[in-house]
Amino acid sequence: MTENTNEPGQPTPPPPSGFEAPGPATPPPPPAAAPPPPAAGYAAPPPAPTGPGGVTNTMAIVTLIAGIAGLTFVPFIGSIVAVITGPMAERQIAQTGEDGAQLAKIGKILGWVGLILGALAIVGVILFWVVFAASVANA
């Protein structure tokens, strides 16, 4: 039990509720010191890569997006765009040394797959209507 410091006969004050006015502000802590230099046995980290090798070719990104769009949102048009921009991106990458050759190759492959699937779909629809018309004519 806590010790009562009030005079005899005086009621005990209520316990703190946590909503009291803040006391005097405490000063902020001093700023932290800089970290110590590495020990003698450790080498410095390698420098960050610089130069044109770290930049991804924009045409390669366009090719990949068009290839994906050719299989999903814009079936035939996206595939044509991917097939056209793929070799353009590969040519630019060979000239500038930028990254993105794999993106261009994947986008170009997706474009060709989309074109083949689109052509098969068109042939399938035509074949369906030919068979349907023949069966209606014979009925």
Q: Are the C-beta atoms of 44 and 85 separated by less than 8 Å? A: no
Distance between CA atoms of residues 58 and 98, nearest Å: 10
DSSP states of 19-40: -SPP-SPPPPPPPPPPPPPPPT
Give pLDDT, residue 89.
97
Low-confidence ranges of the chain (pLDDT < 50): 53
pLDDT at 5: 61
What does the pLDDT read at residue 32? 75
Q: How far apart are CA 67 and CA 58, in angstroms?
A: 14
